[in-house]
Amino acid sequence: MALTSAVANAAAAAAAAGAGKKAAQVQLQAELNTDDEWNKFINRDGLLVIDVYTEWCGPCIGMVGNLKKIKVELGGDNLHLAIAKSDTIECLKRFRKRSEPTWMFIAAGQLLNVVFGADAPRLARTIEQELQNEELARKGERERPKRAPHELTPPEQEVAEAKEKLQQERRAREEAAVEAARIMRRETRACRLETHFADVCPALVMPHAQKHLRKITDALEPHGVILADKCPILLGKDGVRVLGVEELELATEAAISAIAERPSLALLLKKTPEKDGDVIELCRRALYGDGVKTGDGEPNKKVPAEELRAESTPGVYVPADRHQRAAVLDLLFPKMVSSLVEPGPPPTAPHIALMFGAWQRRALLAVCDTSRLLHYGFFADASLTEPKLLAKNIEQYELRPEKDFSETIVLMIAVGLAAPELADPKDIPPQGPPEQLLALGPLHVSEDAVVGAEECAKFFPPGYSEPEPKPKQKPKKKKKFSLQTKRHETKEDLTEESNAQSQSIETGEPGESEAAVEGDNDGDAEVEGDVEGEGEVEEDGEDGEEQQAVDKATSPPPPAPH
């Protein structure tokens, strides 16, 4: 019993020693997961070296040994190590999207330095230098920088400014591309409508000015413009928004409230055949006084547009150019225009291309916002210059008998609106690719919407979304038999059959029909045996295939051999 007790005591002592050693190792590097733990730790004395990490990219394990060695040899009690999770600490939110190791140096609650990357010699030199600076600061021979941990260091500020400059350049390119596309659409539409409405100009009389219609027509008549048609129209908020893009005075809150809920009067003005000049210029000259010069000493006469104005709301609106005329014709007289000119194709929103491994297809389509997904498709590899299409949707792709790790899925994602000026601000999507897609690790993301349009044009050419034509089945050719031929063949068949039966009776041999029946029975027996044998072989083959078959597009590719 004494021996047993001694052994037990020795084991307990060894366990206690091991636990104490483990506890010392744990205390060597603190673990910070909350704001309270963070605030408590950064107020400690000495130099603090903190490894900042994210949940999807953990702390730098390879540097732990070096840091502990540095602490024992150089820092002692003046150096404290910790790892901090940026996902749950508000002060570290600027590091949440970084995947490279990040080291923060803090003393007396002030941020001294930030080092990025797993460069062990550089990190050791920085720790040694900051320890010396902290020692001088304690003696009062050096002043610590006044910088809170959430503020940027000068190198970080330079990087942030460079990134912001690149972002501004990208936004400028994207805005220029959107504006160029808008102008092209307006020019195309104006040219198409000019072939039918060259001598026509629309106008809109606001609700408060409709009683002065006669004044408007009297002002137009001397300029060779007549009223061809008129109709009341309730524009609503969407219609007023379109007018506000064409005329800024109609985009004010007073104009919107005056026009959106009360019917206005749409006018169709037409130039008389004997009058020369552009109908838009004639209407603007008559109602706005555009291009009219007044002589010296002559009093300025009020034009109808000024007379009909009610405070900040204009009483009448006439397009100022051919682009505005096309837009207002589509808005005020859609039936008349559509009967002569087909509506143009809907504009495409600015977009980018995101490429993933095809094995991620189900997760991608589950988290992707369908309102921003314009197109998607499956391709043979990750080529951006010569993509080879495999399937246009997931249903077609699942029908493929064989799949490979190299196959990819490309998403065409909208990063804005084609006509943001017509949209409600709350409906405008955030800039850049969706975060939930970036979290899945794309193989490629377009640099910006300009580059994205070029790349998507290769993956999704015009007509990509149109249904594929089904192949026509060839009609079967029917044999034509005349009644006389059919009777002749029937007689010959009956004659041959009767001769064969009589011959078999004389010789005692079975006829053709009996032999055929027996042959058929024998053949059936052989076929049954063959089918049974084949069935066994097929089952063995299927079992072997099930053991070897692996869907290479439902799991990530295997790691490369070392």
User: With helix as H, strand as E and coil as C, how does 280-297 read?
Assistant: HHHHHHHHHCCCCCCCCC
**Contact yes or no for 424/418 (Cβ under 8 A):** no
355 and 316 both lie in a single domain: no
Per-residue pLDDT of the chain (562 residues; tens, 9 = 90+): 343 343 344 444 444 444 443 344 445 678 999 999 999 999 898 899 999 988 777 677 767 777 777 777 776 778 888 999 998 999 999 888 787 889 999 999 999 999 988 888 888 889 989 999 988 988 888 888 889 999 998 988 998 899 899 989 988 998 898 899 999 999 999 999 999 999 999 999 999 999 999 999 999 999 999 999 999 999 988 888 899 889 888 888 888 888 888 999 999 999 999 999 999 999 999 999 876 665 544 445 788 999 999 888 899 999 999 999 999 999 999 999 999 999 888 888 899 999 999 999 999 999 999 989 999 999 999 999 999 999 999 999 999 988 888 999 999 999 988 888 777 777 777 778 898 998 888 999 999 999 999 999 999 998 898 876 666 666 665 555 454 555 555 555 555 655 555 554 444 444 444 444 444 444 444 434 443 444 444 444 444 444 444 556 666 776 655 4
How many whole angstroms from its chain centre is CA 309? 45
What is the CATH number for 59? 3.40.30.10
Helix (H) or strand (E) holding 492: helix 483-507
327 and 192 both lie in a single domain: yes
According to the model, what pLDDT value does residue 560 have? 55
Could you say which of 434, 459, 484 is where a domain stops? 459
According to the model, what pLDDT value does residue 9 have? 45
Distance (Å, rounded) from C-alpha 317 to C-alpha 331?
A: 13
Q: Who contacts 244 (Cβ-Cβ below 8 Å, separation ≥6)?
A: 250, 251, 255, 256
Q: Evaluate whether residue 254 is within a structural domain.
A: yes
Distance (Å, rounded) from C-alpha 90 to C-alpha 38?
A: 10
Ramachandran assignment for 234, one of left (phi > 0), alpha (psi -120 to 50 degrees), beta (any other): beta
52 and 117 both lie in a single domain: yes
The strand ranges marked E within 284-436 are: 316-317, 351-357, 373-379, 389-391, 408-414
218 and 333 both lie in a single domain: yes
411 and 324 both lie in a single domain: no
**Contact yes or no for 103/51 (Cβ under 8 A):** yes
> pTM of the entire structure?
0.65
Distance (Å, rounded) from C-alpha 315 to C-alpha 465?
A: 46
Q: Residue 141's domain spans which residues?
A: 29-151
DSSP-H helix ranges across 427-482 = 435-438, 449-459
Q: Evaluate whether residue 199 is within a structural domain.
A: yes
141 and 188 both lie in a single domain: no
Query: Of 312, 191, 341, 330, which Cα lies nearest the Cα of 266?
Result: 330
276 and 387 both lie in a single domain: no
Q: Evaluate whether residue 22 is within a structural domain.
A: no
Residues composing the chain: 562
What is the CATH number for 224? 3.30.70.141
Distance (Å, rounded) from C-alpha 343 to C-alpha 75?
A: 75
According to the model, what pLDDT value does residue 232 have? 95
Number of structural domains (the chain) is 3
333 and 417 both lie in a single domain: no
Query: Of 210, 208, 262, 206, which Cα lies nearest the Cα of 234?
Result: 262
Helix (H) or strand (E) holding 334: helix 334-340
129 and 198 both lie in a single domain: no
According to the model, what pLDDT value does residue 17 have? 43
Q: Evaluate whether residue 554 is within a structural domain.
A: no
Could you say which of 406, 439, 459 is where a domain stops? 459
330 and 395 both lie in a single domain: no
Q: Who contacts 81 (Cβ-Cβ below 8 Å, separation ≥6)?
A: 28, 29, 30, 48, 49, 50, 51, 67, 68, 71
Query: Of 90, 84, 122, which Cα lies nearest the Cα of 104?
Result: 84
Distance (Å, rounded) from C-alpha 271 to C-alpha 386?
A: 54
185 and 333 both lie in a single domain: yes
251 and 333 both lie in a single domain: yes
